[in-house]
Chain A
Amino acid sequence: MIQFFLAATLGVLFSIGTYLVLRRDVVRVVWGISIISQSANVYLVTMGGFDGLAPILSGHGASGPAPSDPIVQALVLTAIVIGFGTTALALVLTYRVYEEHGTIDMYELGGSR
């Protein structure tokens, strides 16, 4: 099933995320990464298709369409939790960077433009 709408949505979300990652404010970089990982999850779920039922055995009875792809859901579930871990770590790192250097401006933190 070709997903034009989702392709467009994901494209825009990735663009916004990329633009944020390129900013000089470290917090914005974290936001950008967060948006990109959310979009990647949505992309994976999209790959499973939207035409099924929730992949739970009981309660569907003997008829009805097949359940939607449970594999992508299991993958994404892991990804959400890992994303949570990395986001939290990135935030605390930001906090520590501020404590150490007194700034969260990439340009002031070092490197040459």
Chain B
Amino acid sequence: MQPTPEVVLAVVFLPFLAAAFTPVVYRILGERTAYFAAAVALVTLGLVTDQYLAGAHGTVSFDWIPSLGVSLAFHVDGLALLIAFLASGVGVLILTYSGGYMHGEPGQAKYYATLLAFMGSMLGVALAGDLVALFVFWELTSLSSFILIGHYTGEEASQYAARKSMLITVSGGLFMLVGFLLLVWASGQTTAIEGTTYSIPLLVEHADAIREVLTASGLLVPVLVLVGLGAATKSAQVPFHVWLPNAMEAPTPVSAFLHSATMVKAGVYLVGRFRPLFLPEDAAVLGEWTLVFAVLGLLTMTVAAMLAVSATDIKELLAYSTASHLGLIIAAFGFANSYGAEAGAFHILNHASFKAALFMVAGIIAHEAGTRNIDRLGGLRKHLPVTAVIAVVASLSMAGFPPFNGFYSKELLFESTYYAAEHMGGVAWVFPVVAVFGSVFTFLYSIKFASLFFGDEPDGLGHVHRPPVAMLVPPAILGALVLAISAQPNLFIEGLIGDVYGSVVPGEAHSFSVHFPTELTPYVIMSIITIVVGAAAFPFYDRIHDAINAALRGPVRANWWYDNFVEGLTTASVAVTPKIQTGLLRTYTTWGLFGFVALALGGYAAAGVSLPGFDGLSVSIPIVLVLLVALVAAFAVDIAPSHVAGVLTLSIVGFMVAIFYILADAPDLALTQLVVETLVLVIFLLVLDRLPAFYGDAPDRLVSVRDGLLSLAVGGTVFLTVLLSTNASPDPLLREFIVARAGVPAEHGPFFADYGGGSNVVNVILVDFRGIDTMGEISVVVMASIAILTLIRMRTRGETQ
């Protein structure tokens, strides 16, 4: 069935609408705004469910910029519905949880409004069926993430974290935009699609033709990398993972929502969405796609898992773990075989279920125990029994421990790496080895997180409170979801994940199911190795933790690059600014004019213009004489010994220009110039009367040589420009239009006289054809005179102080 346009629109824009009203609602409801926001999320979830139950599949589109072929299109399919379920469903839980967590916190109206706006943007990303719409919603999620990370606006760490995430994710988005535009260009090159298109489903439908164009022009890998940069920055893939741990400065519900369950999934979603576009049905086992994404994903999975082991803060641990699991999904999507797509599709759901629960558990720990430091936590089971159960279930699922749901998706990943290696042999055996190696670390930190609830209480741990119900129910629901998926994985696969799988594979999708392993396959052995090695290494956790931290020094850390780069930019700006912004007019003028000369000459050089040959004076002798007089007068202005002498010689220039206008057959100009020149002379003399006589302007030689050179450069550029522009013969359309209608009356009809009511063409243009312009001109003169009046009269009224 086609999706219902109204419902899809409501899904995306209802949260935005609610966000707009949140400040008003907050005035009425106060802290209970959380439940208003949760209700909005619940309605959205209901609408998504409605579309899901109706079996909606297809595209609805609304005109947006029809002249460019851009539309506000929404595409509903399995992948879109899964992400939409996550955004709205986890949204309900998070907003409820916030009602307890944010008690007494500042800036709640802003907080809930931004969370709702984020939810709308994320739903927009999930459902977008148009490249431009996708990009806009994509950047909106970055923006709302920026505001939420910087929630505690006064704290430097929040500011740093917000700036970091913004710089990394938004710049990644810009790379993605370039990739999108290349795709649109490719769509214009192929005959399979009429014109160019921004429609994602249409691009995917003609994937083969698009790929052909891109391959032929050598752009396939660049486009892959550009789109991949967008995904990698958003999903915190190595080496762009650095913003995610800092983003934990945000209130914990935000971390659980944006930075584990939804926003960071946008990158994964992007990879899934474009997988059928870039991956041919009969893909080579190690094609460009696999090379980019499997390598990126496995690298992130391993590195981020090791970093998670090195973490000392529970939220930092979860942040690195999130990056690691996103790496797992991207790696899974990277493999061309069907197990990869299955693993990725299934793990999106599994990861959201256990990781959002764990973040909320971390929020409870931080809230009730007052610390997030791993070393100072332990034995929490006695104080937080329910939380402990949730944490253990979710941690075991995160570890990939059977029979929890995380085990099934990890098993599928092992399967896909194994088959990829088996098909290719040789160096490809690195894939399964790295997957197991990274999983060992995943196992280690998962067990470490669960172990916080066991053992002895450290000495420093004070009294641990019981969490409020609003904070306990949402993670409990997610914990129950983990158990439900673990118990009946095939129910969820049939219900939704199968469709997701269909969205991320090219061509027809087969149905799939998972089973608890009953025999010893190679990938079961991989799981066993992971668990056994992990369990054997766990007693040495502290040593591994210290060893990784010891290795993280200087350029090995991605943060080192980020901090030095940003710091370098800041230092450079601080150093350069006083050189350019000296507060001295001549400095600004110098740089401005230098820029003008450089750009103009550079442009001429780039265009490869050639100088025209000299072909006579082409002006009459009187004009030559008049202009020569003007030149001499201008030179006299330059060397004038007094202000009065300078003004008088300047007047000569002006009057010579007036005569030039007469000779150039421009009587109106000549009249105006004469009047203006007379007035300017009078004003000059009036003002000069009040000014000091003269400043002995004897600049030192270096300054005058520099100024002289710059002046010559400007003069030379002008000379060249006049030559080139008078040499050119532009389309005389406008001139001919006017001249034809203004021309000899007998032949063409007195257009100007009839319609403009006058026979002076210039006058008619000014007062009739360009009447509004002239109106503006008069306003300028009026404004200038008011300003002059104010400047002169107001001073005496004591307005200076």
Contacts and interface: CB of A to CB of B under 8 A. Distances in A.
A18 B593 contact: yes
A89 to B, nearest CB: 5
Given A29-B585, A111-B587, A9 B672 contact: no
B773 interface: yes
A11 B791 CA distance: 35
Contacts of B382: none
A87 B787 CA distance: 13
Contacts of B773: 78
Contact of B676 (A47, A56, A84, A98): A84
Given A16-B634, A112-B582, A74 B715 contact: no
A29 B637 CA distance: 11
Contacts of B683: 87-88, 91
A62 B744 contact: yes
B777 interface: yes
A71 to B, nearest CB: 6
Measured as residues with beta carbon below 8 angstroms from the partner, the interface class of chain A is 35 or more
A18 B719 CA distance: 14
Contacts of B781: 81-82, 84-85
B578 A73 contact: no
Contacts of B660: 42, 45
Interface in B324-378: none
Given A3-B722, A15-B715, A80-B676, A57 B631 contact: no
Contacts of A8: 719
B664 to A, nearest CB: 5
Interface stretch (B245-253, B568-576, B616-624): B616-624
B65 interface: no
A93 B791 contact: yes
A57 B665 contact: no
B371 to A, nearest CB: 51
A71 B788 contact: no
A24 to B, nearest CB: 6
B725 interface: yes
B583 A31 contact: no
A70 B695 contact: no
B734 interface: yes
Interface stretch (B129-137, B398-406, B685-693): B685-693
B742 A70 contact: yes
Contacts of A47: 725-726
Contacts of A21: 586, 589
B750 A22 contact: no
A15 B714 contact: yes
Interface string B631-665: 10011011000010011001001100100110111
B525 to A, nearest CB: 73
A55 B635 contact: no
B715 A18 contact: yes
Contact of B715 (A12, A38, A45, A111): A12
A95 B792 contact: yes
B687 A14 contact: no
Nearest to B635: A16
B774 A78 contact: yes
A13 B715 CA distance: 7
Contacts of A17: 634
A43 B585 CA distance: 26
A8 B800 CA distance: 47
Interface in B706-720: 707-708, 710-712, 714-716, 718-720
Interface residues of B, number: 109
B595 interface: no
A26 to B, nearest CB: 8
Given A4-B723, A21-B589, A35-B637, A57 B745 contact: yes
Contact of A18 (B578, B582, B695, B710): B710
A111 B583 contact: yes
B614 interface: yes
Interface stretch (B42-50, B172-180, B753-761): B753-761
B691 A5 contact: no
A3 B618 contact: yes
Interface string B288-325: 00000000000000000000000000000000000000
A98 B695 contact: no
Interface in B403-442: none
A5 B667 contact: no
B651 to A, nearest CB: 10
A61 B159 CA distance: 77
B599 interface: no
Given A88-B784, A95-B691, A28 B697 contact: yes
Contacts of A42: 657, 660
Interface stretch (B95-103, B183-191, B229-237, B762-770): B762-770
A101 to B, nearest CB: 11
B615 interface: yes
Given A7-B723, A54-B667, A95 B690 contact: yes
A22 B710 contact: yes
Contacts of A84: 676, 679-680, 781
B715 A41 contact: no
B493 interface: no
B714 A73 contact: no
A86 B735 CA distance: 29
Contacts of A11: 715-716, 718-719, 722
Contacts of B787: 89, 92
Contacts of A23: 586, 697, 699
Contacts of B762: 55, 70, 73-74, 77
A78 B792 contact: no
Contact of B624 (A5, A16, A74): A5
Contacts of A24: 586, 695, 697, 699
Interface string B123-153: 0000000000000000000000000000000
A112 to B, nearest CB: 5
A7 B718 CA distance: 7
B788 A88 contact: yes
Given A55-B761, A68-B664, A95-B792, A77 B672 contact: yes
A82 B614 contact: no
Contacts of A69: 735, 738-739
Contacts of B746: 62
Contacts of B765: 70-71, 74
A35 B653 contact: yes
Given A20-B638, A70-B761, A84-B680, A6 B722 contact: yes
A50 B691 contact: no
Contacts of A53: 665
Contacts of B623: 50
Contacts of A55: 665, 742, 760-762
19 contacts: A1-B618, A4-B618, A4-B723, A5-B619, A7-B723, A7-B726, A14-B715, A24-B699, A27-B688, A35-B650, A41-B669, A50-B663, A50-B664, A54-B666, A58-B759, A73-B762, A76-B666, A95-B687, A103-B692
Given A10-B718, A98-B690, A106-B584, 11 more contacts: A1-B618, A3-B726, A4-B617, A9-B631, A15-B714, A24-B586, A38-B653, A70-B738, A70-B742, A74-B762, A100-B800
Q: What are the 9 tightest A-B residue pairs by CB atom distance, in nearest-first order? A: A111-B583, A15-B715, A11-B719, A111-B584, A57-B759, A85-B784, A7-B722, A55-B761, A11-B715
